[in-house]
Structure 1
């Protein structure tokens, strides 16, 4: 019995073990199958998660890039232009106005040595200028008289093909809800030329801070504009802007450029790079007149000390400060009326800049250097120049009106006034719209008589005026424009940065007529065909330095000019502009 029970228990245990083993195998198979499914599902989930992460990363990267680009927006324009330039009766008839009474007194006193001593400065001068010696001995040289420096030359000059390229990059950035930054980088160059320095044959050829955006220089970008705008200060209509302000291509000059308003002040009075500040107030919030804004503008046009060798303690020039008001009386999208009034305090007889010294002037003013220059006929040394004295103050004012009709006809009229208030000082090229009076002096080693400017001929105030009118009419494939401007004898606006190669047409003392046809290729591309004709009545267009002479008198030889003078000129040009 015990044996039977043992066998039954053993058999039961075996059956139980077998059943348990079978159950474990079934569970193991089930578990293995479940794990495989779970692993497969986990793998798929990982794939899905990775895909989702990649999608999120792509979206984040795109947003980050978009945010970064939003912080600074870049637009611009590219223009290539060809001119055919022609100048008639280009006359060079240089002379200086010498105080011969002073010269005679010094010569008679023996200050310049004895005339019978061949080695004396006086004898050397008389030997080099026999006609001057004869006139002096005959008593013909009295008072202030022209001292001719070189024989007169008259010629026509043609530059049949003159190419330029201009690239401008506009920068914008939102700093805060009511604060923004704006800037413009400009490259303006002649084809095949990046020297950056021109031979000084006119005031336009002088490269300086205020005009480098409109003066072809080279294949580098310059900062034409860089400023911030702080609007709605404390929730008011008041705003403030400081930096290299937009003071070029102001109204109504934007029409001939086929652009929106480019600068704050009147383009008839100002086209010049300025560093300064503007505080404005939107009067339209009070008056209800659309677009009515009043602005007070301040700027500095010249730094007299830094970089001028001030540590030697011989600086006589002063900083030039500018200030005034610019008022948009109405600006409703159809009608635009603007008033401008400002002044420039302590204007000097030039600016800091660089130039290539012309051989012709070296022969006159630096004979020793000129002898060395003969060994290098085509070389002109580059020099940094700066003004020599403060010559007075200037004031400018104007009123301009423009209207855009419903039929897309646009027209404008602008009147300007300038006043030059001289102080009696003068440099080599003159004082404030007056010539310099030169006096004879001995050089540093008392071996040579040299002529140095001592004072201005006049120091009274001189008023000038200018008018500027134009119309733009829709035409097949684009628009046609006609413009005319005139400047009087003493007309002296600050438009030297205008990029007309013959010279700023709006600074011309005389007449300028312009006609153009703009062909719209697409909304961001156009071709412009244009022609400008200049009829200069007075010399010195675009500069307050020196007395304006009648051009006809200079050509006839009865008046003089230190720099070449143009009688008439014309510019036929074609350009292609792309905005991006």
Structure 2
């Protein structure tokens, strides 16, 4: 519009020029002066009108520009609101997606073939004890001492116990969520089931894993119930240049390094498996020290946990008694990653267990019951009553006394050279007894103190070595060998080890293991085949009660409950992980 009116105005100016020069209206009669003035006035009016219209058009253009700026501002506001809503919705969708996606499943089906050479009481002693239990015999402490002496003078009988095929299944459901960058949650539900068995309670055969307890129920084959294996939150923060994290709940305490070595899996737990492979509840506070120390992978974590609760709410028979002197069993310590790069890791762990008890709350079926009465109040039973458990009734076990403290130290070095992985893990335990068990059966057997018998209270130091090597094969497979040895007084909390033959890391003696792992179906399914040979030097492996006895010197009293002398464990398992 502006261009059009401007051209009209220019045409008027040209016409005016033509009039004054006499070039207009060529061939026509010249206009009079009055007519010429009228014509000029008309042209002026046209120009004025065009100028007014042009001014109006400019005003409309300015208004249009202002309206456009307002519209642009409104659009910007709308875009900002939409972006904010999109971000909020995206966070919600991300949170929902993570809640749904970060769930893992592990299913392990395992076949074990177990063959044991066992030392037991002679048949005559078994008959005598059986008759006493069936008759519901009563006897005094002096008579019990006579029974002990008689059985100490008798040797043992050898038996071979075989289970050619033992099938077990273990399922784990892993749950993870991270609602904020500084907060995460990890949970795991698990069940470990023996094929053809859902009782959840075993017959007591003298082994530490025969009692179903809080620390081992997630790995020892029992019933088909899903239980909470781990559930904890972790808060992440920074103290200057030092990142830290605090965690509280049921701890990831099973399958710690280097237990993953022979299974070609991820590290399963925080504590070093050589000293602690046992489920518990507690807290940890960790610090990342790599940046301030310049040492790759350096970090330090303080740990605390509860092994036994004795007070109100525990369900123990003495929890409501005002004069109960049994304290909670607790422990604390640290895990220090001293160095870690792509190939090498060096880790130290220390744990101190205070107020160690003579057992844990659990369930078991015992062949007989033995009750004691303290008639004079001196803390020792004066009279005993033995009865056969003819109905195979389930018994709830519970500690009867605090018996001392235990310190455990481990040092692990793992590395890789070319296609060969290897590790060496050293451990030491030190037990300080400071009490006696009030359990009648332990008094009968004389195993009434921490790594001591018959009331002795001597400090005991034990040692253990664990080493392994493996090499890669085609198809991402691997083959390897492990060896571990424990001394006479070696003791650790390894009863949660996933092994129906018993914890190899608790062995007072030697264990040799060879294994082969073959990943299948894009590493989602792994086949493992292996064999373990246990060669025991002393009795009581994994049991803190009583002084160990050399295998070649066992008496009938020492073999009151069967003692394994050697064992072969062949295994094959398929593990599905997703």
Using the size of structure 2 for normalisation, the TM-score is: 0.73
* Counterparts in 2 of 1:95 and 1:464: CA distance versus 1, 3 Å: farther
CA contact (8 A) 1:553 1:559 kept: no
Number of residue pairs the alignment of both structures matches: 454
CA distance in 1, matches of 2:209, 2:514: 23
Counterpart in 2 of 1:343? 352
Residues 6-61 of structure 1: CA distance to partner in whole angstroms, max 9, x if unpaired? xxxxxxxxxxxxxxxxxxxxxxxxxxxxxxxxxxxxxxxxxxxxxxxxxxxxxx99
2:326 aligned to 317, 337, 358, which one?
317
Shift of 1:231: 1.3
Counterpart in 1 of 2:525? 525
Superposition RMSD in Å:
3.1
Find out whether 1:425 has 2:436 as its counterpart: yes
* Counterparts in 2 of 1:380 and 1:148: CA distance versus 1, 3 Å: farther
CA distance in 2, matches of 1:526, 1:124: 56
Find out whether 1:490 has 2:489 as its counterpart: yes
Counterpart in 2 of 1:451? none
CA contact (8 A) 1:237 1:285 kept: no
CA distance in 2, matches of 1:495, 1:196: 20
Counterpart in 2 of 1:225? 230
Counterpart in 2 of 1:32? none
Counterpart in 2 of 1:27? none
Q: What is the 5 A alignment of 1:14-413? A: 67-71=95-99, 73-92=102-121, 145=149, 152-201=156-205, 202-233=207-238, 236-305=242-311, 306-309=314-317, 310-359=319-368, 366-367=385-386, 369-370=387-388, 373-374=389-390, 379-405=391-417, 407-413=418-424
Residues 297-335 of structure 1: CA distance to partner in whole angstroms, max 9, x if unpaired? 111111012311322435332101101111000122311
Counterpart in 1 of 2:8? none
Secondary structure of the 2:484 match is strand
Secondary structure of the 2:262 match is helix
Residues 437-469 of structure 1: CA distance to partner in whole angstroms, max 9, x if unpaired? 3xxxxxxxxxxxxxxxxxx2x112100000000
Secondary structure of the 2:419 match is coil
Shift of 1:259: 1.1
Q: Which moved more, 1:380-389 or 1:351-360?
A: 351-360
Q: What is the 5 A alignment of 1:1-16? A: none
Max Rg structure: 2
Q: Which moved more, 1:170-179 or 1:428-437?
A: 428-437
Shift of 1:62: 11
Shift of 1:573: 1.0
Shift of 1:424: 3.9
CA contact (8 A) 1:422 1:431 kept: no
CA distance in 2, matches of 1:330, 1:94: 56
CA distance in 1, matches of 2:324, 2:248: 28
Secondary structure of the 2:320 match is helix
* Structure 1 spans left out of the alignment, 5+ residues: 1-59, 97-122, 438-455
1:468 aligned to 466, 469, 479, which one?
466
CA distance in 1, matches of 2:384, 2:200: 25
* Structure 2 spans left out of the alignment, 5+ residues: 1-87, 126-136, 372-382
* Counterparts in 2 of 1:365 and 1:168: CA distance versus 1, 3 Å: farther
